[in-house]
Amino acid sequence: MPLWPFEGAAVDATRRATPVRRRPPIWSVVAGIGILLSAALWAASMPASDGSANSPSQLAQAEAGGVETAPVTEFERAGKISGYRFSTPETRRLQDHDDDNPGFLWVERGEAMWVEPAGADGKSCASCHGKAASMRGVGATYPKVSKETGRLFTLEHQVNYCRTERMKSAALVWNSDDLLAITAFVMHQSRGLPLAVATDGPAAPFFERGAELYRTRRGQLNAACEYCHVRNSGNHLRADLLSEGHINGFPLFRLGWQRMGSVHAQMETCYELVRATPEPYGSDELTALQLFLAWRSNGLLVETPAVRR
Ligand code: HEC
Ligand code: HEC
């Protein structure tokens, strides 16, 4: 009987991409704990909960097999666990080595875009912002309320705002390679810094809305985000080990997508998983939800570009 249920094509692809040393079946521990979520569970009525704190055994489980991976931070010990720790060693290794990390194709494209003139005035991002290092720490504070518009902006909104309002250029299409590239490049400047979004002041009403959406059941499965990512993190949903659903690695490269994706693309995937009609990219609903996700992830270190299954 296979001990570790991650037997998809995507995993095979990573095996081909990197030479893998065989590992003892440490995953047996994980598989032993994992449960398959059943239809009966979906129907069951669940008590409310908003915590993301984990038991030490859950952290041990997430760390299992992590010999060559980044050390667990004190912050994670205190209760939040990055999706990185829920990944297989093969997937983690892709993320650990920049040369093997396919997300860097987008980051490098973003680096080129940073100095590429666009729009009527022939300006590039660098014309106004100078070196990309000026963006260190910036991405970690998004989503945030834009002073100019009073709207809640993701980094994607902010970049497009600079393009249309300050560069006389066209907005980039959501989840297009170009918008993913420039946002991944900007987020990458904050790699290693803790996520630090504000939820008070002008952000408060958006945060409240996001919190509500996080707990709203949706789709034919009638499941809320928290059902999978709070109550069942550490358990299996078919072949997937459910993580806490943090966003410290976005935009990230998902092997299942075979490309980079934004937080909104991830939410689309999760909406579809519960058979709900996805909200449009960039919508107020997904943006408020993203603020709540970012708050849940506050303190976790930015990994962009992360790699996930
Ligand atoms: C004509 C000048 C100009 C250009 C060109 C420009 N920006 Fe901006 N950008 C600004 C100004 C002004 C602000 C608001 C003040 C600030 O936060 O620096 C801003 C703000 C930002 C912010 C938010 C900073 C924060 O602290 O929240 C980001 C991110 C950003 N720009 C990215 C970009 C990117 C990426 C490009 C290229 C696609 C770009 N900008 C092009 C002028 C410009
Ligand atoms: C039916 C279970 C289920 C529900 C409900 C669900 N998700 Fe997910 N989600 C998954 C699975 C499976 C994955 C991929 C494995 C993982 O990271 O958990 C995932 C991944 C994620 C990730 C990426 C985490 C990472 O580190 O890569 C985020 C963010 C996320 N979900 C957010 C949400 C949000 C927001 C909602 C509510 C709109 C939601 N999910 C609802 C199953 C679910």
CATH number of the structural domain spanning residue 169: 1.10.760.10
Q: Does 29 have pLDDT greater than 50?
A: no
| CA–CA separation, 235 and 244 (whole Å) | 10
Answer yes or no: 270 catalytic: yes
Residues in the chain: 309
Q: Pick 186 or 78 by higher pLDDT.
A: 186
State which residues form the domain around 165.
104-188
Q: Which atom of ligand 2 is nearest to the CA of 242?
A: 18
| CA–CA separation, 28 and 181 (whole Å) | 38
Going by pLDDT thresholds of 50, 70 and 90, the confidence category of residue 260 is very high
- Residue 231 half-sphere exposure toward CB, CA atoms < 13 A: 17
Q: What is the pLDDT of residue 58?
A: 53
Domain presence at residue 73: no
Domain presence at residue 239: no
Domain presence at residue 109: yes
Interval between CA 28 and ligand 2 midpoint (Å): 24
Domain presence at residue 59: no
| CA–CA separation, 211 and 224 (whole Å) | 11
| CA–CA separation, 34 and 55 (whole Å) | 15
Ligand 1, pocket-test mutation among 111, 125, 127, 129, most atoms within 8 A of CB:
129
Q: Which strands make up the sheet holding 252-254, listed edge to edge?
A: 259-261, 252-254, 307-308
Domain presence at residue 301: no
Average pLDDT over residues 281-302: 97
Q: Which of 23-27, 46-50, 59-63, 243-247 has the highest mean pLDDT?
A: 243-247
Domain presence at residue 174: yes
Marked catalytic residue, from 125, 225, 228, 270: 270
Q: What is the pLDDT of residue 171?
A: 98
Virtual torsion, Cα 246, 207, 53, 190, nearest 10 deg: 40
Average pLDDT over residues 242-250: 97
Q: Are strands 240-241 and 236-237 parallel, antiparallel or unpaired?
A: antiparallel
> For residue 94, what are the CA distances in angstroms to 17, 65, 69, 98?
9, 15, 11, 8
Q: Which residue minimizes the CA distance to atom 32 of ligand 2? A: 245
Q: Which atom of ligand 2 is nearest to the CA of 289?
A: 35
Average pLDDT over residues 66-76: 46
Q: Does 106 have pLDDT greater than 90?
A: yes
Ligand 2, pocket-test mutation among 212, 216, 243, 287, most atoms within 8 A of CB:
243
Instruction: Print burial letters for 263-299: b (CB count within 10 Å at least 16), e (below 16).
Output: bbbbbbebbeebebebbebbeebbbbbbbbbbbbbbb
Q: Where are the alpha helices (DSSP H) in the chain?
A: 9-17, 27-33, 39-43, 56-63, 74-77, 89-96, 104-114, 125-129, 155-161, 177-188, 204-214, 225-226, 263-273, 284-297
Domain presence at residue 17: no
Q: What is the DSSP letter of 253?
A: E
The count of structural domains within the chain is 1
Going by pLDDT thresholds of 50, 70 and 90, the confidence category of residue 61 is low
% of residues, the chain, pLDDT over 90: 73
Average pLDDT over residues 143-171: 97
Domain presence at residue 177: yes
Q: What is the pLDDT of residue 50?
A: 33
Q: What is the pLDDT of residue 239?
A: 87
pTM: 0.83
Task: Show the ligand 2 pocket: residues with CB < 6 angstroms.
Answer: 83, 86, 223, 225, 227-229, 237, 240, 242-243, 245-247, 249, 266-267, 270-271, 273-274, 289, 293, 308
Three-state SS at 261: strand
Q: Is 119 in contact with 286 (CB distance < 8 Å)?
A: no
Q: Does 31 have pLDDT greater than 50?
A: no
Ligand 2, pocket-test mutation among 216, 228, 286, most atoms within 8 A of CB:
228
Which amino acid, 294?
A
Q: Does 281 have pLDDT greater than 90?
A: yes
Bond preceding residue 251 cis, omega within 30 of 0: yes
Q: Pick 103 or 7 by higher pLDDT.
A: 103
Average pLDDT of every residue of the chain: 82
